[in-house]
A and B are shown apart, each in its own frame.
Chain A
Amino acid sequence: MKRLTLCLAMLAAAPALAQDTSPARLIAGYEAEAGTPANPAAGKALFLATHGTGKPDTPACTTCHTDNPRAAGQTRTGKTIDPLAPSANPDRFTDVKKVEKWFGRNCDSVLGRACTAAEKADIIAWLSGL
């Protein structure tokens, strides 16, 4: 009972996602910004590669997200990360602010630089096709 109350409290505390976009709309926006069409194969390569140009604890996207975006990942502190692939997690890529926040943080952590609009389009295009 106590646990149910806690779950309800946590649900109430979780802010609703903005649901102000979709993977397709994000891809179109990033494509327009980049001036090039999205390339899912390039997105896959970028996502699965070991970069090591960012922070030492996060050499790759797969460090936390694993190499299977349809499965859950895990933060370095042991917390579950919901799957990135929209087919496994429909909430993905439906909130512009959230997408920008995490690209901003994680490209810096993994690559040591910001991702380009083309790279964002590529990654979302690959993930959306899974």
Chain B
Amino acid sequence: MIRSAAFGLSLVMALPALADEDRVPPVTHAATQEECGACHMAFQPAFLPARSWQAIMAGLDDHFGENAQLDDATRAEIEAYLLSNAATRIRSVPDTVTPMKISDLPWFKREHGREVSARMMERAKTMSNCVACHRGAERGIYEDD
């Protein structure tokens, strides 16, 4: 009960919706950095709403085509961090929709659709490789590089 109240409060105090995607608070949780960052950049939790992180963390046995399972304790710890730092709202995404990828978000597609050349894409390999073009991505800085 106390825990759920505390959790509720932490959600209320969570970040406002992203006003500006150029800067987001960096990942400050060691296990998240370590485990998520093993295969790809550890994406900042403010990019997705809590329901998205919940769905992602519930499906680690098939995480975008790979098994990324964690032991229960680590999984729970990472999920708690992601949920308490998630976005409260995502522009142009209704609450009934649960985006599974940051690169599926309308603003992301708009920003990248115009600007990313085939050559940049070749270098980055995938849209998950933020640091290929945004040198400050790990620190939450996404000014155009």
Contact = CB atoms under 8 A, between A and B. Distances in A.
Interface of A: 6, 10, 13-15, 55-58, 74-79, 101, 104-106, 108-109
B40 A79 contact: yes
Which of B30, B39, B139 has the largest number of chain A CB atoms within 10 A?
A: B39
25 contacts: A13-B33, A15-B30, A15-B34, A55-B62, A57-B66, A74-B125, A76-B126, A77-B40, A77-B41, A77-B126, A77-B128, A77-B129, A78-B124, A78-B125, A78-B126, A78-B128, A78-B132, A79-B41, A101-B70, A104-B67, A105-B66, A105-B67, A105-B69, A108-B61, A109-B65
Contacts of B33: 13
Given A104-B69, A105-B68, 16 more contacts: A10-B138, A15-B34, A55-B67, A57-B65, A58-B66, A74-B125, A75-B39, A76-B65, A78-B125, A78-B129, A79-B39, A79-B41, A79-B129, A101-B71, A108-B67, A108-B69
B144 to A, nearest CB: 18
Which of A76, A78, A104, A108 has the largest number of chain B CB atoms within 10 A?
A: A78
Contacts of A108: 61, 67, 69
Contacts of B128: 77-78
Interface of B: 30, 33-34, 39-41, 61-62, 65-71, 124-126, 128-129, 132, 138-139
Contacts of B132: 78
A108 B66 CA distance: 8
B67 A106 contact: yes
Contact of B30 (A13, A57, A104, A109): A13
A59 to B, nearest CB: 11
Which of A6, A76, A101 has the largest number of chain B CB atoms within 10 A?
A: A76
Nearest to A106: B67
A24 to B, nearest CB: 25
